[in-house]
């Protein structure tokens, strides 16, 4: 199924186990980043809700900067040494341990909770980047959109399913004293990742050849490979253009998701149980549309698919901005869910179609770089506007600027040229 004839063929169980890994790590994004812990941090852990929201954006920024600086080199090291799967195992273990530690964070632990969250978030983003780098190995140009969409779809359905026990936890299964009912959802997220990541480590193969070297040599070679790519940027200009465009539009997209629960709570008085119901609906729509749009992408191309989603995402944010009642806000949230899944799946698949076989970890490391650097300006802008105006409405309006600018940059990407270069370099790896 992969383009390199010297690598092992792809078994169906590898595709399913790879897609299931999106299902496994979805609980962290859903419960910790988006719907529960973010709101709990702002409203309960930090003594001031406005400052709590600002501190949360700074924690998101810190994890974004660390991940952005680390992942290109780590991906290049994985390509050189055939270590992507081992690095993925370490990142998974760290994320599980630190997410479980968040259970211990309660009112008054604002600094400690922020530090632990940053560490968990860095591990979470690292494991996503490393698993993404396997996509070109288990797919072809003709089905990459569907396989990427399957992964994102299962990821959102995983987020949906984990919200069901989380809803029970916060609404009566567990005591409310000290926020135990809310904090326990971190244990659920950690256990979810631990259990459902097992198929990937059991079945997915590492196809890059293993090279024995000292740790220092791995690091040096990682930096050397980054330097080689940097000196040859014109050769990979379509991938670079896509990464720049994604850096901008993903800034808006991630800000909308990371601040959604805080915005809903501040503007519409939605409490934790209400936010969980919102999360269930948004994840259901996102999962279904990610899978459906995967087939559309394989027909019309990734660039067109992304452009469609960006236009409709701007409409969704505008609806949330203008909303004065819950029905209109719900309409905005559902439209956001319908477009966010296809946008992320198509972005991953489009880059995958641009990636030569020996650059998978490295270029998906840059993909993580653009994704996490994208988590800096959006939340920072949100926090600055919120601090200046004390209005979440004015803060959320800034998201439209990032989506529109990203769309304009996307129009410069030549999809045919990017695919042609990757095909021309699809030679056996030495």
> Of residues 80 and 95, which shows the higher confidence score?
95
Q: What is the SS3 string spanning 331-359?
A: HHHHHHHHHHHHHHHHHHHHHHHHCCHHH
Max alpha carbon distance in the chain (Å)?
A: 62
pTM: 0.76
Residue 25 has pLDDT above 80, yes or no: yes
pLDDT > 80? residue 222: no
CA contacts within 13 A on the Cβ side of 101: 17
For the ranges 100-109, 138-147, 211-220, 234-243, the lowest mean pLDDT is seen at 211-220
Give the model's pLDDT for residue 20: 96
Q: How high does pLDDT run on average in the chain?
A: 84
Count the Cβ atoms, other than its own, within 10 Å of residue 233: 10
What is the rounded CA–CA span in Å between residue 171 and residue 308? 38
- Write out pLDDT tens, residues 264-277: 877 887 777 787 78
Residue 256 has a CB neighbour count (10 Å cut-off) of 26
- CA-based nearest residue to 422, from 237, 249, 194, 164: 237
pLDDT at site 377: 75
Please choose, from the candidates 289, 264, 288, the residue with its C-alpha nearest in 3D space to the C-alpha of residue 276. 264
Q: What per-residue confidence (pLDDT) applies to 192?
A: 98
Determine the topology of domain 12-202+215-424 in CATH: Growth Hormone; Chain: A; (1.20.1250)
Residues 6+ apart with CB under 8 A from 287: 152, 153, 154, 155, 156, 157, 159, 160, 341
Residue 234 is predicted with a pLDDT of 66
pLDDT at 429 over 70: no
What integer pLDDT is reported at residue 269 of this predicted model?
79
293-332 pLDDT, tens digit per residue, is 888 888 898 899 999 999 999 999 999 888 888 888 888 8
- Give residue 1's pLDDT: 41
Question: What is the structure's pLDDT at 428?
Answer: 46
pLDDT at 355: 77
Would you say residue 233 has pLDDT above 80? Answer: no
d(CA 176, CA 346): 41
């Amino acid at each position: 199924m992969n383009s390199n004839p010297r690598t092992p063929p792809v078994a169906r169980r590898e595709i399913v186990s790879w897609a299931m890994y999106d299902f496994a790590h979805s609980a962290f994004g859903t419960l910790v980043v988006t719907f529960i812990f973010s709101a709990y941090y702002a409203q309960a852990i930090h003594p001031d809700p406005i400052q709590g929201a600002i501190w949360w954006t700074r924690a998101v920024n810190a994890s974004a900067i660390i991940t952005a600086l680390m992942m290109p080199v780590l991906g290049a090291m994985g390509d050189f040494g055939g270590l992507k799967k081992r690095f993925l195992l370490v990142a998974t273990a760290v994320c599980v341990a630190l997410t479980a530690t968040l259970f211990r964070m309660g009112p008054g632990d604002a600094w400690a909770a922020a530090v632990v969250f940053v560490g968990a978030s860095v591990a979470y983003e690292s494991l996503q980047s490393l698993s993404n780098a396997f996509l070109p190995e288990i797919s072809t140009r003709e089905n990459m959109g569907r396989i990427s969409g399957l992964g994102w779809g299962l990821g959102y359905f995983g987020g949906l399913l984990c919200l069901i026990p989380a809803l029970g936890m916060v609404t009566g299964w567990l005591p409310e004293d000290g926020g135990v009912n809310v904090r326990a959802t971190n244990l659920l997220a950690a256990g979810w990742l631990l259990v459902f990541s097992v198929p990937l480590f059991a079945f997915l193969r590492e196809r890059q050849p293993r090279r024995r070297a000292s740790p220092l040599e791995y690091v040096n070679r990682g930096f050397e490979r980054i330097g080689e790519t940097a000196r040859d940027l014109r050769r990979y200009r379509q991938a670079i253009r896509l990464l720049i465009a994604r850096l901008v539009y993903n800034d808006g997209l991630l800000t909308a998701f990371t601040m959604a629960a805080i915005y809903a709570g501040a503007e519409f008085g939605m409490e934790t149980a209400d936010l969980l119901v919102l999360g269930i609906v948004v994840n259901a729509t996102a999962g279904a549309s990610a899978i459906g749009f995967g087939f559309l992408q394989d027909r019309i191309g990734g660039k067109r698919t992304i452009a469609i989603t960006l236009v409709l995402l701007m409409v969704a944010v505008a609806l949330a901005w203008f909303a004065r009642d819950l029905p209109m806000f719900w309409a905005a949230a559902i439209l956001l869910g319908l477009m966010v899944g296809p946008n992320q799946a198509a972005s991953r698949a489009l880059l995958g179609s641009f990636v030569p076989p020996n650059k998978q970890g490295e270029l998906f490391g840059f993909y993580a770089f653009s994704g996490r650097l994208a988590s800096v300006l959006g939340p920072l802008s949100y926090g600055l506007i919120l601090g200046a105006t004390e209005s979440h409405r004015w803060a959320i309006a800034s998201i439209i600027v990032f989506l529109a600018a990203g769309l304009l940059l996307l129009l410069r990407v030549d999809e045919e040229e990017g695919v042609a270069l990757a095909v021309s370099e699809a030679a056996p790896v030495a």
